Structure 1
Amino acid sequence: MSFFDTAGKMAIGSRLRLLTEKITEDAGKIYALFGVGLQPKWFPVFYMLANNEALTITAIAKEIGHSHVSVSKIVREMVKHGLVKEKKDKSDGRRNMVTLSAAGREVNQRLSEQCVDVGSAIEELSASATHNLWEAIGEWEFLLEQRSLLRRVMDQKKKREGQEVTIVPYSRKYQQAFRDLNEEWISTYFKMEAADYKALDNPKSHILDKGGIILVALYKEEPVGVCALIKMKDPDYDYELAKMAVSPRMQGKSIGWLLGSAIVEQARALGARNIYLESNTMLKPAISLYHKLGFQKVAGRATPYERCNIQMELIF
C-alpha cells in the first residue's frame, strides 16, 4: 500500500505538489522538444503579454493571481533572457509597461504548434480518465474561494469539539465554578460590582429560589461554561439572561452558542414571552452571539451595573 493510500486525505497537499512537480518537469522537456526557450513558471506572464500589447506588472499579477513580487521576479528573469522588455508608460512616467521583445514574439510563433499538440495530449488524457481533472480543479478553486480549507478545518474542529460538550442543570457542586468562571471574565475586562457578588455568592437564593435556572457546560466532564436565566419582577420582561461565562481556555468550541441556545429553550419551555439581557459593546464576540440567538437592541433602562452600555431583548 502506498504512502498516500495510508495517509489518505491528510496528504492532499503533498500529493498535489508531487503531481504539479511531475507535470512541471514534463513541461520543461516539452518546451525543449519544440525548441521554445521558456521555463514553465514563465508561461502565465508570457501568455498575458502575447495576448496584450503592453501591461503593467500590477495588471499581470491581478490577471494570473500571482503576487506583485512574484511577477516582478519573473519579468526580470525574462528580461535577462531577452524575451520581454520594459519601458516607461507615456501617459504616466511613474510606471513601467512590459511588452514582448522581438525574440519573445518569435518564441510566441513557435509556441503555437506546441499549444496544439499539448492541447490534444490533454484531451486524450482526459478521455482516458474517469474524472475530468480540469473541471474538478475549477470546482475546487471556486469552493475554496468561497471558504478556504483553513476555515473548513476550523469549522470541523469546532463541530467535533462541540460534540464533547454537554449542558447540565446547576447543582451545588458547580457553585465554585459558577463563581470562578464569572469572576474571571468580569475581572479581565471590568471590575466586580455589588450586584455580581449577590448572584455569584448566593446563586441558590438569588437565582434558583426565585424561579430562575442555571446551566453548566461540561467539556469532558469539566465545568467550562455557565449561564443563568433570572426571573424578573418586571411588567415588560419575564426573564433575564445573565452570568454567562466561558473559560478562555475553551474559546472556539461553540460553548457560548450551546449554552445560549439551551437557556433560550429553557425560557421557551417555561412559557416566557421574552428574555432581556445587559452587556457591553466592547465584548464583540458576545454581542455577535446574542444577535445570532435572535436578540435585538432596545432603549436604555435602569441598570445596576456600571459596565452595561447595551441592553437587548429576545421576543418569542
Structure 2
Amino acid sequence: MEFFNKTGKVALGSRLRMLTEKITEDAAQIYQLYNIEMQPKWFPVFYVLSVGEEKTITAIAKEIGHSHPSVSKIIGEMGKKGLVVEKKDKTDGRRNMVSLTKKGLEITVKIQDQLTDVNTAIEAISAQTTYDLWKAMEEWEYLLEQQSLLSRVAEAHKKREAGKVTIVDYQPKYKAAFKALNEEWIARWFKLEAADHKSLDHPEENILKKGGHIFVALYNDEPVGVCALVKMDDPDYDYELAKMAVSPKAQGKSIGFLLGQAIIAKATALGARNIYLESNTILKPAISLYNKLGFKKIAGRATPYERCNIQMELILPV
C-alpha cells in the first residue's frame, strides 16, 4: 500500500476499485464453493426477483440503483443461463415482466447457507476493525447525493483559480483591453450601439472624469476582465454597474464575482445609496451573478440600449 501512502486520498477511486475487485474475485469463488451458478454482478437483480414478484427492468433498475441498460444486460446474461424469463405484461402489452425461472427459484433455496456464512465472515471482519465501513459508506453516499465529487472538485478549482486573480484600478495601459473585452462579448450576442462606442472609445472622458471608476481583473498579469462604476445623473440612482466583461478563456475563476464585489465596495466607500444596472435575460450566467451579488429586478426605465430587457438595483447599507 506504499503507493496509496504517497498519493493520499486523491487516489480514493483507485483504492476503492482495488478493494471492490478483490471482494468480487472472492465472491466468484464463493459461488463455486457452494456450487451455485451465479456471477457477483447478477446478485442485486437476482435478490430483488427472489424476494418479490415479477418486475419490469425499469423497476429493478430503480430499486437497485443501476442504469436501465446495465440491468437489461444482466437480465440478458441471466436469461442465457436459464435463471430468468421475460414475458409480456398481461395488463399492459407494452411492458416486459421479468421473473425467476424454476432453475432460478431453486438457487434461492441453495443460496441461503452461503448468505448466512458470508454474513458471518463479514461480521467477523467488522468486529476486528476500528471503523464501521458500512456506516461510512452510507455517509459517503448521502453526502455525494447532496453534492457530487465532480461538483466539489470544480468548486475547489474555481476557488483556487480565483486566488490568482488581482483586481486593480484602471490605468491608461488597460484602455485597449477595456474596449476589446467588451466588444468581444457584445459582438457575440448583440451589436455595438452608440452608447457603447461612447464609453469604450473614451473611458477617461465619459466614465472616470465624471466621477466613475473602472476596475481591471488581472490573471497572470494579463487583463482578463473589466467592469465600470458609472456616476449617474439621476435623482433615484447614484451609480451604475456597467461594461462588465470577462474573457471566455478566463471564465470559471470567479472573475465576474470579484469585479462585482470591487464595484460594490467602491460604491459603498463613496457613500452611495444604491447601484443600478441594465442587462438582457439571454445572458443567464450574468443574471445569475447579479442575483448572487444581491441585485433585484426593478420596473423598466428609459434606456439608451436596444438590447436591454431587464434592469436591476442593489440597495447599499447606510
Cα-to-partner distance string for 1:228-265 (whole Å, 9 max, x where unaligned):
10111100000000011111111111000010011011
Cα-to-partner distance string for 1:255-304 (whole Å, 9 max, x where unaligned):
00010011011111111111111111111111111111111111111111
1:298 is matched with 298
Cα-to-partner distance string for 1:44-77 (whole Å, 9 max, x where unaligned):
0000001112111111011111121211121122
Deviation at 1:8, TM superposition (A): 2.4
Letter in 2 for 1:200: L
Of residues 131-140 and 18-27 in structure 1, the stretch that sits farther from structure 2 once superposed is 131-140
Deviation at 1:139, TM superposition (A): 1.1
Number of residues of Structure 1 aligned to a counterpart in Structure 2: 316
1:248 is matched with 248
1:80 is matched with 80
1:13 is matched with 13
Length-normalised TM-score, structure 2? 0.96
Q: Distance in 1 between matches of 2:13 and 2:274?
A: 50
1:239 is matched with 239
Unmatched 5+ residue regions in structure 1? Answer: none
Letter in 1 for 2:248: P
2:30 is matched with 30
1:261 is matched with 261
Q: Distance in 2 between matches of 1:89 and 1:138?
A: 35
1:215-226 correspondence to structure 2 within 5 Å: 215-226=215-226
Is 1:286 aligned to 2:286, yes or no? yes
Q: Distance in 1 between matches of 2:176 and 2:69?
A: 56
1:1-316 correspondence to structure 2 within 5 Å: 2-316=2-316
Letter in 2 for 1:153: V
Deviation at 1:10, TM superposition (A): 2.9
Cα-to-partner distance string for 1:107-134 (whole Å, 9 max, x where unaligned):
1111111111111111111121122111
Q: Distance in 1 between matches of 2:77 and 2:309?
A: 59
Q: Distance in 2 between matches of 1:179 and 1:79?
A: 67
Length-normalised TM-score, structure 1? 0.97
Q: Distance in 2 between matches of 1:25 and 1:175?
A: 65
Of residues 235-244 and 177-186 in structure 1, the stretch that sits farther from structure 2 once superposed is 177-186
Q: Distance in 2 between matches of 1:278 and 1:230?
A: 12
Letter in 2 for 1:14: S
Cα-to-partner distance string for 1:156-204 (whole Å, 9 max, x where unaligned):
1100000000111111121111111111111111111111111112211
Unmatched 5+ residue regions in structure 2? Answer: none
Q: Distance in 1 between matches of 2:258 and 2:173?
A: 21
Q: Distance in 2 between matches of 1:127 and 1:265?
A: 58
Instruction: Find the residue that maps to 2:268 and give its secondary structure.
Output: helix
